[in-house]
Structure 1
Amino acid sequence: MPQPSQSFMRGTFVLSVAAFVNRILGFISGMFVARMLGAEGIGLLMMAHPLVPLVITITELGLPVAISKLVAEADARGEHAKVRRILHVSLLVTGFLSVLLTTVSLLGSEWIASILLSDQRAYYAMLAITPIAPIVAISAVLKGYFRGKQRMQAIAASDVLENTVQIACVLALVHLLLPHGLAYAAAGAMAASVISEASSLTFLLISYKLRGEAKLPGETWAHSLRRGKSTLTELLRIGLPTTGHGVIHSLYSAFQPLLITTSLAAAGVSTAMATKQFGMLAGYAFPLLFMPSFITQSLSTALIPAISEAAANRNSLLMHKRMDQAMRLGLQIGAPATVILFVWATPLTTLIYHAPEAGILLKILAPMFFLHYFDAPLHAILLGLGRAGSSLWNYIVTTIFKVIAIFVLGGELGIVGIAVGLGIGIVIQTMLDFFSISGTIGFYWDIRPYVQVAVSMMVMLLSGQWALGVLEGMGLTMLGSMLGSAGFALLVYFGVLSLTNAWSRRNRRILT
């Protein structure tokens, strides 16, 4: 059996590679769909989607996080019957709830649409995505099981398969349905997500069947469920606080399109233009902002059981080492990504989406989004420490401030104010999570690497702006100017890091 450090880093590496492939596939798919549907069509997609996470959150009851923790503990003790019991109880609960809530959502779809959708053309897309809830909920349970068993390869392969199937289906269905109207094309894109999730679930089920737990003589599902009351209690004790966070997030996400379009209406923006501007923000700017965070997201997935194990063993040194790993990785990923997204915002949105007007939104959000690369690991650390309640309250406070900021700034400044309001939410969330961790176990860090990276970022920004201006003055194409100046800026960035010894052997060793 691999050592905990090896399992943690190996799991992070496997998930990071898969996440990188998935981000590339998803980005390519999103780019083509954005070009085919335009900002208005992407706006319809973004409006139709938020109801589904709410249904999924309620059906999961936070069980995937609880499953990974309890399965890891039971597996370490050799309690294989309990591992199967955890899985059986979780599948029964999520399966029943997801089918029930999905049925209710489908039957009440017109009423829900009349409340949540500011543009009723998104109704068909909302209808098409609703059946995905049971599929995703059951997949999440199986992924929780595989995380607990430290079998990240199965999760990684299923995610790659899902994105591969989606990129084929979404392009085919959008192309087929676009002649019938934008609303039907958006529904086709949503239906492609259902098909791809079904393929991922099929793979996970086959993987479990091939390498799942061997049953003891006379052991059945009924036998597991008869003894499942205590298991369900354990699962809910861990999962319910996480569910509260998810419910608040899903409710906010469901009403966010309505909040944004209402704020834009107060600024004098028409419904069609509000849908288009929301599409630029959610469909153009945010995919670029989230693109570099696949490594920190993968790290977060592996952090929860790693921190839980260290906390259970009262290994303070290991906990702080994991925290330092997470923060430094967020720093090293977020720093150059932030500069690139800020300096080359307009060239990126122009070349990828043919939407130069989205560049200003990306430029506004990029500096504040820098903290997002730290927030995902910080949230995972809180969960690993058993502080799901603190994470929930931090998110509630953040959401209140964010709603106020969006409504006030959006009404005064339009879509630019909304972008600023969303950025403020990211800053508040990250700071609250950081203070919660510091108040629990303290936080010890060497500030020198952060100062060195800050200096390197500033030099990269100035050299990148200078190189971009020079290459544009030479008459190069936008693509040539962007690639040349960005490449030069990255060389300068890594050169300054080397000169400041930020990548010394001592600093690199902390990441191994």
Structure 2
Amino acid sequence: MSKGTGKFVKGALILSVAALIAKVLSAFFRIPLGSLIGNVGMGYYGYGYPIYTFLTSIAIVAIPATLSKLVAEKRVMGQYKEAHLIFKHTMSFMIILGLTLSALFFLGAPLLIGAFKWEEQTIYSLWGLALSPIFVCIMGVYRGYFQGMQNMAPTAISQVLENFGRVVAGLGLAYFFMPNVGYAAGGASFGSVVGGVCGALVLALFYLKHKKAIYEEMDTQKQAAVSTTFKSVAKVVLVLAIPISIGAAVNSVMNFLDSAIVTARLVSGGMDQTIAADLFGQLTNTLTLVNLPLAFGMALVTSVVPAIAEAVARKDHKEMQDKMELGSRFGLLISLPAAIGLAVLAEPVMGFLFPESIQGGPILRLSAFSIPFIMLGQAMTGVLQGLGKVWIPVQALGVAAVVKAVLNIVLVGSLGILGAPLSSIAGYATFTLYNFLAVKKLTGFKLNTMLVIVKPLIAAAVMGIAAYFSYALLGNILDATSKIQNAIMTLGAVGVGAIIYVIVIFLIGGISKQDLQELKKKKEN
């Protein structure tokens, strides 16, 4: 394992741990929130959230990815002053963009509600989110700058604090506004603003802490600084950030298509609007669980873009190949057991975490199988962005969105709410295959199928069988209709499954001792 690959692994692990903590906090937020405001309230909350994440994806994913790529390339050439100028100009540009997005979100809320046949009370949730883009944009610039220096700690810590602030403020405001469900959903949404303020503040403090070292590094630059203007930086950022934001926003786009089509399709089939909102709330709850392992996917994208960019700048083909395989392998080692585990224990997990959405078990079982496709698709997106082929994931998303939209219309009309997760699987699979074939064509990348896919799949299948029978055996002793006893049974089955997975993956060589030794060595470095 090369030094550059070691940095990549270390960065991916730091971000993965932070992202997992952030997602756990997010799940902790949605679980009590669902109990507090019910499925209908979660429907109000869930309608606007994909639009918010899509609008801010340019700052959450695109700007960090774009800026980290630009900064990494400049730093490899020793152009530290240019790297810092790019950071400063990008910050000014993104603050302007954040203000613009916030204004559009606030003013456009009534139009969205009318266009997609949402309940009128959804407007409070949309307004609650309106100020978030400003702070998300600021966070995106800071994160991108530090990631370009291969320093993932500021991003990791800010993610955790951002979600902590969101949980505390969102739940507190939702509780304050109950029993008015519309106001409560709006208060929960406003938690994102508070979280954004927390995240932006901690990143600003990190910058101030490192400012002296950054300027000292700039003083070591021997050659004269190249002229870097606000206009030139804004142009480059836009040219790169727009396709990166669209390509990386696959999850937001798929969820948005659910928001735009599912409820309208259910209502057009004769369903009451409130019942449709209830079903959409159940779908929103299942996505909370699907999103937990996807935290690792976003960590992969975040780490792989500057890592691949550095390898390309050094013309190190072997290191580039190593990172591509490592990203794919890392993603499937996590996503395959997550998918099978959620599918096997769908009803118990929903009964444990979302007792008011116990009917959501079949939705979760189907939704779980989209996880490996999303994870691998995100990894391939990061590779393409690192290679500078930023428009290919956009093309992939365009094709996948058409597949998702058409199948949403057809399947939701014939199967009801279960049509949504089925169409998502097809959409994500299309996105992943398109990106993978493009990477293979551009780089000649050859995936080690046995190591990357087959071995994790075998271990995950054995784990799923163990978890299923563990739950069944515990059912002979405990009462599954009791919330507390079902929780014990579910956690017990998850624990057994996790232990079995680790044992099997080591026994069949999916992870070797050499992998752990190399990782430990790089951590010590």
TM-score (norm 1): 0.90
Deviations 1:188-224 (A, max 9, x none): 111111011012112212222232343999xxxxx99
Match of 2:46 in 1: 46
Further displaced range: 470-479 or 50-59:
50-59
Q: Is the 8 A contact 2:248 2:378 kept in 1?
A: no
**Cα drift, residue 87 of structure 1:** 1.7
Q: Is the 8 A contact 1:61 1:240 kept in 2?
A: no
Further displaced range: 465-474 or 312-321:
465-474
- Report the residue type matching 1:390 in the other structure: I
C-alpha distance 427-280 of structure 1, shift in aligned 2 (>3 A): same
Match of 1:220 in 2: none
Match of 1:327 in 2: 328
- Report the residue type matching 2:432 in the other structure: T
**Secondary structure of 1:214's partner?**
helix
Q: Is the 8 A contact 1:57 1:247 kept in 2?
A: yes
Deviations 1:237-289 (A, max 9, x none): 4334224546897676555313111221244322111111111112x111111
- Report the residue type matching 2:39 in the other structure: A
Match of 2:412 in 1: 410
Match of 1:280 in 2: 282
Structure 2 unaligned residues grouped into runs of 5+: 220-224, 480-484
**Cα drift, residue 173 of structure 1:** 0.8
Further displaced range: 44-53 or 29-38:
44-53
Q: Is the 8 A contact 1:248 1:396 kept in 2?
A: no
2:464 is the counterpart of 1:464: no
C-alpha distance 101-303 of structure 1, shift in aligned 2 (>3 A): closer
Q: Is the 8 A contact 2:247 2:393 kept in 1?
A: yes
Deviations 1:410-442 (A, max 9, x none): 001100112211121121111111111111112
Deviations 1:454-502 (A, max 9, x none): 3333333333333322321334532233233333334443443344333
Match of 1:340 in 2: 341
C-alpha distance 496-229 of structure 1, shift in aligned 2 (>3 A): closer
Deviations 1:47-66 (A, max 9, x none): 12234345435789944322
Match of 1:121 in 2: 121
Match of 2:208 in 1: 209
**Cα drift, residue 347 of structure 1:** 0.5
Deviations 1:304-363 (A, max 9, x none): 011111122222211111111112112211222122101111010011110211111011
Further displaced range: 70-79 or 499-508:
499-508
Structure 1 unaligned residues grouped into runs of 5+: 218-222
Q: Is the 8 A contact 1:63 1:236 kept in 2?
A: no
Q: Is the 8 A contact 2:293 2:335 kept in 1?
A: yes
**Cα drift, residue 112 of structure 1:** 3.9
Deviations 1:353-394 (A, max 9, x none): 102111110111223433222222111111111111111100
- Report the residue type matching 2:181 in the other structure: L
C-alpha distance 504-151 of structure 1, shift in aligned 2 (>3 A): closer
- Report the residue type matching 2:273 in the other structure: T
Further displaced range: 241-250 or 396-405:
241-250
**Secondary structure of 2:403's partner?**
helix
Of 458, 479, 484, the residue aligned with 2:487 is 479
Pairing 1:191-230 to 2, within 5 Å after superposition = 191-212=190-211, 213-214=214-215, 227-230=229-232
Match of 1:390 in 2: 392
Quote the sequence identity (%).
24
Q: Is the 8 A contact 1:128 1:188 kept in 2?
A: yes
For the residues of structure 1 that align with 2:64 and 2:504, how far apart are their CA atoms? 42
**Secondary structure of 2:121's partner?**
helix
**Cα drift, residue 228 of structure 1:** 3.3
2:355 is the counterpart of 1:357: no
2:455 is the counterpart of 1:446: no
**Cα drift, residue 159 of structure 1:** 1.4
**Cα drift, residue 40 of structure 1:** 0.9
Match of 1:131 in 2: 131
TM-score (norm 2): 0.88
**Secondary structure of 1:388's partner?**
coil
For the residues of structure 1 that align with 2:252 and 2:473, how far apart are their CA atoms? 46
Q: Is the 8 A contact 1:7 1:150 kept in 2?
A: yes
- Report the residue type matching 1:464 in the other structure: A
Match of 1:23 in 2: 23
Match of 1:371 in 2: 373
Q: Is the 8 A contact 2:19 2:296 kept in 1?
A: yes
Of 488, 493, 509, the residue aligned with 2:496 is 488
For the residues of structure 1 that align with 2:92 and 2:502, how far apart are their CA atoms? 52
What RMSD in Å do the two structures reach over aligned CA positions? 2.8
**Cα drift, residue 295 of structure 1:** 2.6
Pairing 1:311-326 to 2, within 5 Å after superposition = 311-326=312-327
Q: Is the 8 A contact 1:89 1:225 kept in 2?
A: no
Further displaced range: 427-436 or 466-475:
466-475
Match of 1:64 in 2: 64
For the residues of structure 2 that align with 1:64 and 1:455, how far apart are their CA atoms? 36
C-alpha distance 45-154 of structure 1, shift in aligned 2 (>3 A): same
Aligned length: 504
C-alpha distance 55-237 of structure 1, shift in aligned 2 (>3 A): closer
2:185 is the counterpart of 1:182: no
Pairing 1:30-41 to 2, within 5 Å after superposition = 30-41=30-41
**Cα drift, residue 397 of structure 1:** 0.2
For the residues of structure 1 that align with 2:101 and 2:463, how far apart are their CA atoms? 50
- Report the residue type matching 1:78 in the other structure: G
